[in-house]
Amino acid sequence: MSREIVVVGGGAAGLKAASRARRRDEEAEITVLEKGEYPSLGRCGLPYYVEGFVHDISNLMETLSGDVRDEEYFKKVKNINVLTKTEALSIDRKKRAIKISRNGRDDELNYDYLVLATGAKPVRLRVKGVDADGIFSLTSAEDALKITEMWMDDSIESAVIIGGGLIGLETAEALERLDIDVTIVELKNQLLWNSFDFEMAELVRKCIIREGVKVLTSTTVQEFITEDGKVKAVRANEKILPAELVIISIGVEPRTELAESAGLELTERGAIKVNEYLQTSDPFIYAGGDCVENINLLTGEHVYTPLGSTANKHGRIIGDNITGGRSKWRGVLCTSIFRVFNADAGRTGLTEKQAREAGFDPVIAISPGPDRAHYYPGFKPIRLKLIADRRTRKVLGAQAFGLGVIDKRIDVIATAIQMGGTVDDLAEIDLAYAPPFSSALDHVIHAANIIRNKLDGLVEGITPLELISKLEKHENVLILDVRNEKEFQAKRIRGNVLNIPLSELRERIDEIPNDKEIVTSCAIGTRAYEAARVLLNRGFKVRFLDGALATWVFDDYTIPS
């Protein structure tokens, strides 16, 4: 007798589970229920549809060969019954049946195995006027279509995006490209607060400001000002921000109403509780995608990481296990990447702050420079921050930002972390090299070597945040800038700064006071490290500036009088 498999949710996890189950079991009867109109929609592409890069919403449903993954496609190609505009109402676990509503009529489907891939819903902002027209979350095709229609019909001049996370920044670019005046409002004191350390997030902020987007951090939305039921402005920290369009992007939360009403166990944070096989508290019901939590592979703690890549992996494992397999899901490193204007930003593992909070003793390196050999035409700058544990030397995380290639660096480091690698392993990894692709020692290796030098006692670093704190407190610190005079005159750190080019350092060493803490600096860090070693060997108290001037984002700081 063939298995009856019902999947609730026609997104990444649900349809991957159904497709994997079909490949393993040709005889199974598989039905997928999708409440909306668009199954297998690449929601991560919605900002690009709004921007105009993707010309039709159906493009986000296409296969590589151009077939649209609609109901007919799944029936003919995969023999899977996909029912759109169909809502799952309730689960009868004793009968193993699910009540549904389709075309205004209720029905019931029996199942041997039920898969809940109900996804996530936007977190609501509970302030006055939030239900006005013109306020969206951009988490559905319907939102994207309405935003595009508004832009075409109403000539939107200004927009406010609430939330400075990944989706908020991608949406900011999309709207700015449409010649809309965009302001981002973020409650925290930095963008990307849960995924990037401050100095790396500041690089992103500087980038989008240069493109004309306004950014307000440490700012609270107090109300939406409306007129005739439409949003006209946002009041935030008592400022009035004009806005005919508002995008609320403060996060999502698991959609679990169906599971909860069926009596399935939930986690403390309200996600559907699953085991390593992605099996719920009912052995005949599985769950995956954005409605469940994951295990952080470094800390062992539960984390909520709603990503399409993770949802697809969940679906494959569930498809195995509902057709007789025993595949396990281990967890995530919260790896992510996105493009903002012409630059890319990515991360994996733990931030420095997260590593410290998890009980590690983090050591960091910031490696700025070109993404390939500096003499090869077309090189572009990147900045890579690497984090490791002082005690075990294991790699804990990384962040990268720049105009050049960062994805391969993040992917290499994610692989090293997942395999339990140390900075010594990372420094010795046999990466591909040719001038069009990287320098002879890639950023990944260079960053690992910086941390090795620190761990082996050859040098100490000081982060940009530590240095700015010392400068603002007028501590007894001297910045020794070892670039040439032309570089020094073009840009410098304000404060107590002495310029001695590295080539002149040994002959002019008597000019350096020995009663101050010396911080060496240069353009990207190499000369600063060389200078620090020279001074350390002469008995000076010295550290070099992590990330050097390439990562210095505090040009507008104020030194107290």
Catalytic residue numbers read 44
According to DSSP, residue 543 is labeled: E
Contact present, 496 and 478 (Cβ < 8 Å): yes
Q: Which H/E stretch holds residue 532?
A: helix 526-537
β-pair type (181-185, 158-162): parallel
Contact present, 169 and 222 (Cβ < 8 Å): no
Displacement of CA 130 from its chain's centroid (Å) = 26
Displacement of CA 250 from its chain's centroid (Å) = 13
Query: Which residue shows structure tokens 């919260």?
Result: 334
Residue 61, CB-side half-sphere exposure with 13 Å CA sphere: 20
Among 252, 37, 242, which Cα is nearest to 134's? 242
Residue ranges of alpha helices (H) inside 406-463 are 407-418, 423-427, 443-455
**How far is it, in rounded angstroms, from Cα 311 to Cα 19?**
13
**How far is it, in rounded angstroms, from Cα 149 to Cα 406?**
35
The tokens for 524 are 């990207």
User: Residue 426 carries which side chain, given as an amino acid letter?
Assistant: L
Cα-Cα-Cα-Cα dihedral sign, residues 92, 97, 102, 104: negative
* Greatest Cα pair distance in the chain: 89
**How far is it, in rounded angstroms, from Cα 290 to Cα 305?**
7
Among 48, 37, 39, 36, which Cα is nearest to 68's? 39
Query: What's the Cα-to-Cα distance from 217 to each of 41, 188, 253, 301, 344, rounded to whole Å?
Result: 32, 6, 23, 29, 21
Contact present, 22 and 33 (Cβ < 8 Å): no
Phi, psi (rounded to 5 degrees) for 375: -90, -5
Q: Which H/E stretch holds residue 302?
A: strand 302-303
**How far is it, in rounded angstroms, from Cα 166 to Cα 463?**
25
The tokens for 373 are 């050999």
- Helix, strand, or coil (residue 270): coil
